[in-house]
Amino acid sequence: MHRIARRLAVLGLLPLGVAGLTLPAAHAEGGARTGATGLATASATASAAGSAATASASPRDRGYHTWRGASTSVQQRQVRQYWNRSRLRSAVPMEQILHGRRRSPARPGLPGSSGSGSGLPGSPGSGSGLPGASRPGGGSAGSPGSAGASNGASTVVPPTAGENALGNSSRTTAAAVWPGTGAIATTAGRVFFTIQEGGRTRTASCSGTAVNSANRSVVITAGHCVKSNGQTHRNVVFVPGFQNGNRPFGTWVATNLFTTQQWNANEDINFDIAAFVVAPLNGRNLVDVVGGQGVAFNQQRGLQMYSFGYPAAAPFDGSRLIFCAGRTINDPLQTNDLGLRCDMTGGSSGGPWLLAFNERTGTGLVNSVNSFKYNVDPRFMFGPFFGPEAQAVYNAAQSLGAQ
């Protein structure tokens, strides 16, 4: 069993977008892995330009790990050409690869999901589990900071579009189709990549979002959407505004990828956070084309948030942007993550959780990402707390010039 699959099985966690880790014919991305010398060899279909890039492990005190993607214009063109409509359709959520022999883990009614005493709000036999209830490690939902997680100064980077005074809707929904308006409809998108699995290349998908940044070229997603089982993913691209197979704003190729030291070293689910820089397209930077959401770090817990993503496991098919909304809780079981009632399934991993979201303008502040669900109650989504570790990843990505 894969390392991450084995660990999450013990915890009862279900990663959400851990899909297709395959290496297509265009180019290979390299990365360092603990106790290993490098990545698996590229598939036979990879071109000469697809040789593995040199890994670059950051000093531990920097709080992030980085590696190169498609670093030349030739590689970038090859990656864009690789992702034709057929390969986009073939991409599956990563959880289907890791849990391919199970029923969809994101659907209610799985064994253990009723009468389990999970402690999640609303689950049968759970007790209160409500904001304010005690949680492992101390602390309570609605309290700032997190038990066992680093605290730091509150930092907010505003979005690039919309009003300065953002609204904070109190809507509650477990899953609904976003009506296609506002900045979120252009800044959110699907993340496609390839992984090497079982000796072959497989195509996969997650979700992500463009964020305001110094280089106007940063996408935020989940750590397992760029690296899993000790392997960095390859041929990573971002398709903003994806809808029904259409790419209205083009395909943006990752040039440099970043994740937390904790995810890189141990795939610690508390730090399932990543960002990547994309190359300009037709001479323009990503945020100049689609806009960018704001970003916030070290914020209070227990706030109203909106989660967005492109779930591709049943009953969804990855063709539409889906959202959930409600007041967040602290994970009452085994992590320091935030929780939100949400029915999204695999493929939504990496999609943004937004504070101070304005439904009219479609703008807000990214403060977490879709990460995992417990199999004892798949009605709840969990996402990492954006503390100093997430901020280090974002700062490293935005300080790098787009190539």
Q: Average pLDDT in the 24-32 region?
A: 32
The residue with greater pLDDT, 15 or 142, is: 15
Most confident of 24-33, 141-150, 193-202, 219-228: 219-228
Domains of the chain (ranges, CATH numbers):
3-100+185-291+392-398 (2.40.10.10), 155-183+292-387 (2.40.10.10)
pLDDT at 369 over 80: yes
CA gap 266, 272 in Å, rounded: 10
pLDDT at 164 over 50: no
- pLDDT tens track for 255-295: 999 999 999 999 999 999 999 999 999 999 999 999 999 99
Q: Which residue shows structure tokens 């990505």?
A: 397
pLDDT at 12 over 80: no
pLDDT band at residue 159, thresholds of 50, 70 and 90? confident
pLDDT band at residue 98, thresholds of 50, 70 and 90? low
In the chain, what percentage of residues exceed pLDDT 90? 58
- What's 115's DSSP letter? S
Tokens read off for 63: 């709080």
The residue with greater pLDDT, 66 or 103, is: 66
Identity of the residue numbered 390: A
Give the pLDDT confidence score for residue 212 in this predicted structure.
Answer: 96
CA gap 169, 364 in Å, rounded: 11
Would you call 221 helix, strand, or coil by DSSP? strand
- pLDDT tens track for 103-148: 333 322 222 222 333 334 433 333 323 233 322 223 333 333 333 3
Q: Average pLDDT in the 341-351 region?
A: 95
Tokens read off for 192: 């496609």
* Under 8 Å between Cβ of 17 and 313: no
The residue with greater pLDDT, 48 or 305, is: 305
CA gap 250, 78 in Å, rounded: 14
Largest CA distance in the chain: 58
* Under 8 Å between Cβ of 237 and 254: yes
Beta bridge partners of 309: 322
Tokens read off for 304: 């109203």
- The strand pair at 352-358 and 338-341 is best described as unpaired
- pLDDT tens track for 188-207: 999 999 998 878 899 999 99
Q: Which residues contact 229 (CB under 8 A, 6 or more apart)?
A: 2, 3, 4, 5, 21, 267
Tokens read off for 83: 């992702």
Give the pLDDT confidence score for residue 301 in this predicted structure.
Answer: 96
Of the listed ranges 9-23, 169-183, 267-281, 369-383, the one predicted with least confidence: 9-23
DSSP E strands, 12-140 = 13-15, 55-56, 64-68, 92-93
Give the pLDDT confidence score for residue 41 in this predicted structure.
Answer: 19
Q: Which residue shows structure tokens 């496991």?
A: 313
Tokens read off for 202: 């497989």
Give the pLDDT confidence score for residue 170 in this predicted structure.
Answer: 73
Q: Average pLDDT in the 78-97 region?
A: 90
**What's the full length of the chain, in residues?**
403
CA gap 358, 169 in Å, rounded: 7
- The closest of 338, 215, 349 to 276, measured between CA atoms, is 215
* pTM, rounded to two decimals: 0.76
Average pLDDT of the chain is 75
pLDDT band at residue 213, thresholds of 50, 70 and 90? very high
